[in-house]
Amino acid sequence: MNESFDSNKHEETLPTLETILNGEIAARWSSPILPKNDPVLTPNHPTYEFSSPKVDVGKYTFKSSSSTAIPHEDSSFCDDSVQKTRNSVKCDLCPKNCVIEENNVGFCSSRINRGGRLLARFYGRPTSIAVDPIEKKPLFHFLPGTKILSLGTQGCNLACKFCQNWQISRPLAADSTIQRVLEPRRVVDLALENNCPSVAFTYNEPTVWAEYVVDTAQLCKKNGIKTVVVTNGMIVGQARKEFYENIDAANVDLKGFTSVFYSKLVNGSLDAVKDTLEYIVKETNVWLEITNLLIPTKNDSPEEIEKLCRWIADALGHDIPLHFSAFFPTWRLTDVPLTPAQTLQQASKIAKQSGISYVYCGNIPDPESQKTLCPNCGSVLVERHKYIARVMPTLGVVPLNSNGGVQSEPQKDRRSNSSARYCQNCGMKISGIY
């Protein structure tokens, strides 16, 4: 893979470096708000309507507290009573449907209204760039044992009280600017230079910099590089369709399985996340894995875990890998203890009893819970220790029959363009992209 990006062969219409530096990247999913009547004639009571059919914008209408529009620690200042102005814009990216006043940012801090035009503030401006093992995402059934170029920017459309990356997901100054610039073409170059067969959009929520994700993923695909999103699943409509169009794999955080948890601890919508998970499985070829962070007394009851697992098995399928992860006190949830290993082990048992074939435990020193086992015969197929994966000879390219001979041509996996892998001891097909 140690080759350079072929700009002539794969020429794209992408924002120029000057446009990125000037912060003039237009947000692609938004609706202007148009006055129904002339505010000059009725200055005290103007009314407005959306230029798109949807008129329910929820509670998120944002108002600048000053000319610099500095948000509080969780989001922008929010005031339900703010009256919309002529230049207000509705963001159609995620379920929050923010109505953003001029010179202010949305809940995620990543989209700003300039003169009635919604702009993507952090396009091409990553805060973090690293080469990681792909197991760190975590992805266990997607190119195991390989490296992945990972990058993130700023902002998030959730406000998790237990966020581990709050320094970049909840930027305190709405006018903060990242000086580093990384064009989509340069992302491709870095992946090739570092022999990374894939690129991950991660660290903060990639949904809120969707324009950058879409452009970079399209360019990666044309250069033979796969792409991954590590996401909270809070995206809707046309934006979701375009976001996942060129993505190869996703790890979605299903943070809990009650609306109360999503409302009180993360400021999000469980139904919206479930809808995205079903969309990924039923409408795309994206390889999906799910992570559930277990927080003591908040979402770790056996009853909630069982409901979550049974929904995954019934609505998404038994072959979706599920990662249970241990919580460590952080950010604004420091009065809760870390998750005992026994809780994760119990959750793993519940998941397997619910019919989920591939279950893993993370953030605990237990290599046994990191192994990929054949769901049929229990053979060890992949071993892992501290993000280092070893694919065993028992995971083969060709299926074997009961006599140990080669069966017919390998089947194609619906959610990948590569051949499936098979347990060499019993012949069972093992889901994933290898």
> For residue 177, what is the domain's CATH number?
3.20.20.70
The yes-or-no verdict on residue 10 having pLDDT over 60 is no
Which ranges of 179-255 does DSSP label H, i.e. alpha helix? Answer: 184-193, 210-222, 237-244
Q: Tell me what pLDDT residue 70 has.
A: 35
Most confident of the following: 67-81, 156-170, 289-303: 289-303
Q: Tell me what pLDDT residue 420 has.
A: 78
Question: What is the sign, positive or negative, of the torsion defined by CA atoms of 362, 366, 369, 371?
Answer: positive
Whether 210 maps to a domain, the answer reads: yes
Q: What is the average pLDDT score of the chain?
A: 85
Per-residue pLDDT of 70-79, as tens digits, reads 334 344 333 3
* Tokens read off for 109: 């801090």
Whether 350 maps to a domain, the answer reads: yes
Q: How confident is the model at residue 51 (pLDDT cuts 50, 70, 90)?
A: very low
Whether 37 maps to a domain, the answer reads: no
Q: Tell me what pLDDT residue 342 has.
A: 97
Per-residue pLDDT of 259-268, as tens digits, reads 999 999 999 9
Provide the b/e sequence for 298-318 (b: ≥16 CB within 10 Å): bbbeeebbbebbbbbbeebbe
Q: Tell me what pLDDT residue 167 has.
A: 87
Q: Give the DSSP per-residue string, 390-433.
A: EE-TTEESS-B-TTS-B-SSPPBPTT-SSB-EEETTT--EE-SB
Whether 169 maps to a domain, the answer reads: yes
Whether 273 maps to a domain, the answer reads: yes
Report the domain count for the chain: 1
The yes-or-no verdict on residue 44 having pLDDT over 50 is no
Whether 50 maps to a domain, the answer reads: no
Spatial contact of 213 and 187, defined as CB atoms under 8 Å apart: no
Whether 94 maps to a domain, the answer reads: no
- Tell me how far apart the alpha carbons of residues 106 and 174 are, in angstroms, rounded to a whole number: 10
Average pLDDT value for residue range 298-307: 98
Whether 380 maps to a domain, the answer reads: yes
Domain that holds residue 156: 128-391
